[in-house]
Structure 1
Amino acid sequence: MRLPRSSGILLHPTSLPGPHGSGDLGPAAYHFVDWLASAGQRLWQVLPLGGIGPGNSPYMSPSAFAGNVLLIDLGELQSQGWLDAADLEPAPGLFATHVDYGAVTSFRMERLARAAARFAASASEESRAAFDTFCESHRSWLDDYALFMALSEAHEGVDWCDWAPGLALRRAGALATAHRTHAERVAFWRFCQWSFFRQWAQLRAYAARKGVKIVGDAPIFIAHHSADVWARPELFELDPEGRPTVVAGVPPDFFSATGQRWGNPLYRWSAHAAEGYAWWIERLRRTFELVDIVRIDHFRGFAAHWEIPASEPTAVNGRWVPGPGAALFEAVQQALGTLPVLAEDLGVITPDVEALRRRFEFPGMLILQFAFGGDAANRYLPHHHEHDAVVYTGTHDNDTVAGWWAGASDTERHFARGYFGVDGHDMPWTLIRAACMSIADTAIHPLQDVLCLGGEHRMNRPGADDGCWRWRFQWNDVHPWHGRRLAEFCRLYGRTPAA
């Protein structure tokens, strides 16, 4: 699907300013939408909105359907009467410059528990009715998720396949007992999801009124320790005890000499095909209830994925295994119609991957940081761009442009300076201008590049176990000229919204 010519900003909500240790769906999110609109930006790419897993990554979420409860605006809960002003006083360990997930999780989860208890004790009939309606409309995933999270807490994070057999194998009697035993925490997790979805709907509606669309993200894989794998083990490549036999990753590439061993369980695609890809249809339908456009992560995995034996410590000793290909997207299209989807087609891209993307007219991704490692034939150079694409200065997995430029080879530097006719002193904005000039329909810039920040501000380092997903900005980092310059580029290169 061709998208209108536009420009946007890449920023995960946890990177927003705010007093409680990480960005959330509160006032700063609304202010950011205002800033986007004033800067001529029509898109906000938010990355995954689900809960975090190992490495604090939202790509290792405990649910493919649930929202990240750490994004809930505590101030809004106070306005509902479920928290007191004292509950919102910041605690030690909550930083403005980065997210300390240990401190943030402790602070926020304690406040959410207080709010849930007060809601249970004193909520109005109107609020209870809204909560009940939400629980009913999301029952297909919410019941399993809430019980899974309660059980995970009770087992102190021990992997679900190591729970008592009755729970691990979901025997009816054991589940009924667990619901009774953990009823309060099950209700808590339902309350948190209702709060997230309610607040997100309000923010998205505000963005729509400002002419800003939300670009969401559908990670191809999910964590083994997740409600989805626990609830539907037959859809994944697991042994009889529920342990993965093979796991996901990518072979050695630009990012890592030993590849990336992500560790997610792989799908048993034959089981998905047997039920008409119903799980995937429901997943994408729910995702499009939250966002306007969806970036499908690791698109090449639908043509073929890198299968790593679970016993292997790295991704080196894997093999390519065919994925579902067109059959999945035909089923999705038949059920949901033509959807605004972006394909993350980075990595080892073979002709079958390109053919699959073009068959369904999904725009692919073009990364300008990748453009200068060869010669004029490099597909990422602007003179090779196509309309049906999204051009980025970099992504959340890349270094910032300033960080990349500081470490670029002499060959890359010489090529880039000559290509753009610049001396290289302002490379972040040189690439932003190039993205805006490109004939690609969509241009997206990480906020770090707009702010010309160095590599210490990058969001993620693929393959790293910690230290990622922590970056935050403050409003005093953003100057009036940033927005004015973006708006001017949009005007000059036809990315301004039509009057």
Structure 2
Amino acid sequence: MILRFTLPFRTEWGQRLVVCGSLPSLGQWNLDQALNLHYNPDFGLWSQAISLPDNHLGQVEYKYILLDERDGGKHWEWGPNRTIGYDAQRFTRIVLEDFWRPAAQPENELHTAAFLKALMRRPAATEAPATPALTSEAVVRFQLSAPRVDPNHVICVLGSDPALGAWDASQAVLLSDTDYPTWCADVTLENPEQLVQYKYGIWEPTEKKILHLEAGEDRLIYPATDRRTLRVKADDNFRYPTGNWRGAGVALPVFAMRSRSGLGVGEFPDLKLLVDWAVATGLKMVQVLPINDTVATHTWVDSYPYAAISVFALHPQYLHLQAIAELQDAAARQELEQLREEFNAKDFVDYEPVMNAKWKFIKLLYQQEKAKFLADPEFQAFRQEQESWLAPYAAFSALRDRFHTADFSQWPEEFRTPARVAELTDEAAVDFDEAGIHFFTQFHLDKQLREAVAYARQHGVVVKGDLPIGIYRHSVDAWTQPELYHMHQQAGAPPDDFSVTGQNWRFPTYNWERMAEDGYAWWKQRMSTLARYFDALRIDHILGFFRIWEIPEHSVEGLLGHFSPALPLHQHEIEQHIGWFDYGRLCEPYIRWHMLQSIFHGQAQQVFDEFMEDAGWHGAIRLKEHLRTQRQIEAYFDQQILADPSNTDHYKWIRTGLYKLVNEVLFVPDDQRPDLYHPRITLPLSQSFRELDEQTKPRLQELYFDFFYRRHEDFWREQGMVKLPPVRYATDMLICGEDLGMVPASVPGVMKALGILGLNIQRMPSDPAVEFGHPGTAPYLSVVSPGSHDMSTVRGWWEEDREKAQRFFEHTLGHYGQQAPQFCEPWVAREITEQHLASPAMWAIFPLQDLLAMDSGLRREDPLEEQINVPSNPTHFWKYRLHINLEELKQKFAFNSELINLVQQSARDKVY
């Protein structure tokens, strides 16, 4: 039999189309041996035919590729492989009438797990229409890719041929969703020799009527008289008359969730309660912060969710103990209930006591259930499936507790590498329980989280996770695969609205060259594990895939970092631009007496005497040799504070001033290559810059601007296009990128090309020319939000700067000439919510605190208590907890009714 490929496509000179697939005639997925298509300029159609074995059933997989001989480009069409089954006994010829599937189309995101597994989840496949009997006539297969269909509705086709209802809507042909999101029906046309017009529609089975007939011109089937021919009309994208799909969601960390059954902290089953509330208020997404295990010190410092000791393991704090088994010891049961009452009465997450209690009862349950647990086939399957990360994690956790530190460089030498993992996790070992308890905990965490996510999917709610950009340096990942990271460097972020001195996360940076050698296997495994739990994902600081802010080991703050990879300036380039080069003046801290007076005031002389010395030229001052770097200064003052804690504030004040002096440089030497330099970030704001001569300043300013805003654009675009695709396409999750801060101009284009949604925060507009962003100008493939966990809430922000709030009130909310209220009143919070809901963005996601701000009876009295993180404070205690039980929140009918009305008015609760 004959299989003919046809594809309408207008190419440019130097371009051609090929088809590559599973058959030898299609190259068996070897692009160099793909089938060349021929172009018919009269019809703008590319086509070619191949022969298939007669009297044979089979299936062909294939895909179209655009080859561009001008630049060597090989552009595969978007989407999964196409498939066509064939039956040589029924047909002698199959004609594939395909259409090119372009990348970077908004409709493509509807094919992600967020839509297929949750929002548009099909309850059960509809029965396929009867296959036309074997006749001499032609059969047309209507094949439409359409994920955006309400679970209770069906796609139908209606057309001019009597077999298609002759435009009688009651006679429309229903398509089967057996291969959802592809809908299919085989139809024998009564008048195949005539031009047939048709359209697809949304069919309502209960009322047996078409709800929506697609917009646009009629689709066409051209006359054909071929016998025993199957024509496959592979149509893509139902043309919705109602515009783009849009949804709304809520953001709340799991640890912040409050329920009656929790133990002083949110637990995975609490997600079900939040899902119930989301359903009641028309919200379609629940977004959480990272949920990985951060237990490194067994102190409150572990509350920071972005410093996980494993990018795969889940945090034990989220384990719901009662779901495992009932404690058999009556005294233990009573103690557990007493602690539950005590912890749940607190208005914050008291991390250390809560975790101490969790570990105590986890150990009791482990011993109580151990034999049954180890024999459980479900656990054995889990262990075998997750062995690659689970065994090293269990061994690492056991050693952390045995040696009282997660810093494996301090462990006995025999344990500093993972060589003994198998021995440590052997069930026959005497000390197996040290590791076994972590198998037990992870198994039940995994089980409880998957149950919660399955519940969300069944209720049409997407659970969105969070992928931290970095890894913790004292982690299982660094212990097992140190070659994947630059352990001598620190990752962070340059100065922004969150922190004027930048952020130093102290994570090692990635060794991308090494990661590329195995096709980014670590990233793919990481994404696959996240896809086990989430249908959508926020990538934290997605700019890190283009370039990361890399800070030398000797820095505490972020100002002396530089972007990596980068194209640093050679000494000769600097000389050419500014006319001279002096290492001491440009690259060493610029310190003068008047600067000491400005920083330390009346204590300037005392600070000089204790920490500084005359540099010996032109009034220059330098720090003493043992205090030349911020790390040295940090270590010195840590000792001072330890010895004299009553003067802690004074020591911190001096330390901050000395940090500032260390930052007074104009160029940062490249740590790998001599004679190459990076301009210091925010260089024009430094005192060193202000005291340059009037000829040098404008030249250096121009060099600085060129370096940060022009020099790297193509270079960073290439970096993103190499690193992001393996991560983006490792799973079918809907991907959103946190692209705030100093964003290279190439980033939005790369994200759009890869179908990654951007983030629009009103207080951090991407356009530097405006003070506040407007949700109404956000692109469709984006998320709009009034804030994030790294910011104050809307209420807190309103009170931070009265003048800024007034400008926002007038120019963004439209109350021109009116006095802004002193506090963010509920009606103001409502206006901000409405503004975001009305945005054209695919998603409007709200921190729960900002939604509760609309109700004076529900919101917390002090807005400062609602802020989750303070990025400028590297030792911030992450303790925020919702002040209302989720069970109680669901019963707040007046508020919930107001919220669902707002969602309905914005049409964000509708499928179409």
TM-score of the pair, normalised by structure 2 = 0.51
Question: Could you say which residue in structure 1 is the equivalent of 2:810?
Answer: 417
1:2 to 84, 88, 109: 109
Q: 3-state SS of the aligned residue for 1:407?
A: coil
In 1, the alpha carbon distance for the partners of 2:311 and 2:268 equals 20
Question: Could you say which residue in structure 1 is the equivalent of 2:899?
Answer: 486
2:721 to 326, 346, 352: 326
Structure richer in strand, relative to its length: 2
- Flag structure 1 segments of 5+ consecutive residues without an equivalent: 239-244
Question: Could you say which residue in structure 2 is the equivalent of 1:241?
Answer: none
In 2, the alpha carbon distance for the partners of 1:131 and 1:287 equals 19
Counterpart residue identity of residue 74, structure 1? L
Question: Could you say which residue in structure 1 is the equivalent of 2:393?
Answer: 145
Counterpart residue identity of residue 499, structure 2? S
| Stretch moving more, 363-372 or 252-261 | 363-372
Matches within 5 A, 1:44-443: 44-52=286-294, 54=301, 56-79=303-326, 85-86=333-334, 88-91=336-339, 92=342, 95-123=345-373, 128-172=376-420, 176=423, 180=429, 182-238=431-487, 245-322=488-565, 324-332=719-727, 335-336=730-731, 339-370=733-764, 377=770, 380-422=773-815, 423-424=820-821, 425-426=825-826, 427-443=828-844
Shift in CA distance, 41/74, structure 1 to aligned 2, threshold 3 Å: same
* 1:40 counterpart = 2:449: no
Paired residues of 1:6 and 1:442 also in contact (CA < 8 A): yes
Counterpart residue identity of residue 317, structure 1? L
Count of residues in correspondence between the two structures: 487
Question: Could you say which residue in structure 1 is the equivalent of 2:871?
Answer: 462
CA displacement at 1:20 relative to structure 2: 1.2
Paired residues of 2:774 and 2:812 also in contact (CA < 8 A): no
Counterpart residue identity of residue 850, structure 2? D
Shift in CA distance, 186/164, structure 1 to aligned 2, threshold 3 Å: same
In 2, the alpha carbon distance for the partners of 1:8 and 1:212 equals 9
Paired residues of 1:74 and 1:88 also in contact (CA < 8 A): no
CA displacement at 1:275 relative to structure 2: 1.2
Paired residues of 1:57 and 1:469 also in contact (CA < 8 A): no
CA displacement at 1:369 relative to structure 2: 3.0
CA displacement at 1:448 relative to structure 2: 0.8
CA displacement at 1:371 relative to structure 2: 5.3
In 1, the alpha carbon distance for the partners of 2:476 and 2:563 equals 27
In 2, the alpha carbon distance for the partners of 1:114 and 1:490 equals 46
Shift in CA distance, 85/158, structure 1 to aligned 2, threshold 3 Å: closer
- Flag structure 2 segments of 5+ consecutive residues without an equivalent: 1-107, 111-244, 296-300, 566-715, 854-859
Counterpart residue identity of residue 353, structure 1? V
Shift in CA distance, 216/81, structure 1 to aligned 2, threshold 3 Å: farther
Q: 3-state SS of the aligned residue for 1:237?
A: strand
Paired residues of 2:738 and 2:758 also in contact (CA < 8 A): yes
CA RMSD of aligned residues (A): 2.5
Question: Could you say which residue in structure 1 is the equivalent of 2:257?
Answer: 16
Question: Could you say which residue in structure 1 is the equivalent of 2:848?
Answer: 447
CA displacement at 1:169 relative to structure 2: 2.8
In 1, the alpha carbon distance for the partners of 2:355 and 2:496 equals 34
* 1:472 counterpart = 2:715: no
Paired residues of 2:247 and 2:284 also in contact (CA < 8 A): yes
CA displacement at 1:79 relative to structure 2: 5.0
Q: 3-state SS of the aligned residue for 1:348?
A: coil
CA displacement at 1:164 relative to structure 2: 1.6
Bigger RCO (CA 8 Å, 6+ sep): 1
Shift in CA distance, 77/98, structure 1 to aligned 2, threshold 3 Å: same
CA displacement at 1:183 relative to structure 2: 1.2
Question: Could you say which residue in structure 2 is the equivalent of 1:242?
Answer: none
Q: 3-state SS of the aligned residue for 2:759?
A: strand
Partner deviation per Cα, 1:79-123 (whole Å, 9 max, x = no partner): 597996435313255644110111101011111111111111445
Shift in CA distance, 82/329, structure 1 to aligned 2, threshold 3 Å: farther
Counterpart residue identity of residue 33, structure 1? V
Q: Which structure has the greater CA radius of gyration?
A: 2
In 1, the alpha carbon distance for the partners of 2:723 and 2:766 equals 35
CA displacement at 1:34 relative to structure 2: 0.8
Shift in CA distance, 302/133, structure 1 to aligned 2, threshold 3 Å: same
In 2, the alpha carbon distance for the partners of 1:167 and 1:94 equals 40
Paired residues of 2:292 and 2:305 also in contact (CA < 8 A): yes
CA displacement at 1:163 relative to structure 2: 1.2
Shift in CA distance, 447/272, structure 1 to aligned 2, threshold 3 Å: same
In 2, the alpha carbon distance for the partners of 1:297 and 1:485 equals 32
Paired residues of 1:65 and 1:141 also in contact (CA < 8 A): yes
CA displacement at 1:381 relative to structure 2: 1.6
In 2, the alpha carbon distance for the partners of 1:443 and 1:38 equals 17
Shift in CA distance, 71/313, structure 1 to aligned 2, threshold 3 Å: same
Counterpart residue identity of residue 328, structure 1? K
Shift in CA distance, 90/428, structure 1 to aligned 2, threshold 3 Å: farther
Q: 3-state SS of the aligned residue for 1:370?
A: coil
In 2, the alpha carbon distance for the partners of 1:200 and 1:289 equals 10
Shift in CA distance, 186/50, structure 1 to aligned 2, threshold 3 Å: same
* 1:29 counterpart = 2:271: yes
Paired residues of 1:96 and 1:474 also in contact (CA < 8 A): no
Partner deviation per Cα, 1:451-479 (whole Å, 9 max, x = no partner): 12412211111132133243233235673
In 2, the alpha carbon distance for the partners of 1:420 and 1:11 equals 26
Paired residues of 2:539 and 2:735 also in contact (CA < 8 A): yes
| Stretch moving more, 181-190 or 215-224 | 181-190
| Stretch moving more, 412-421 or 139-148 | 412-421
Partner deviation per Cα, 1:392-426 (whole Å, 9 max, x = no partner): 11111110100001113414423333432355533
In 2, the alpha carbon distance for the partners of 1:177 and 1:36 equals 44
Question: Could you say which residue in structure 1 is the equivalent of 2:232?
Answer: none
CA displacement at 1:269 relative to structure 2: 0.8
Paired residues of 1:403 and 1:455 also in contact (CA < 8 A): yes
Paired residues of 2:424 and 2:432 also in contact (CA < 8 A): no
In 2, the alpha carbon distance for the partners of 1:388 and 1:282 equals 26
Q: 3-state SS of the aligned residue for 2:109?
A: coil
Shift in CA distance, 87/403, structure 1 to aligned 2, threshold 3 Å: same
In 2, the alpha carbon distance for the partners of 1:115 and 1:212 equals 32
Q: 3-state SS of the aligned residue for 2:537?
A: strand
Paired residues of 1:404 and 1:455 also in contact (CA < 8 A): no
In 2, the alpha carbon distance for the partners of 1:462 and 1:383 equals 28
CA displacement at 1:65 relative to structure 2: 0.6
Structure richer in helix, relative to its length: 1
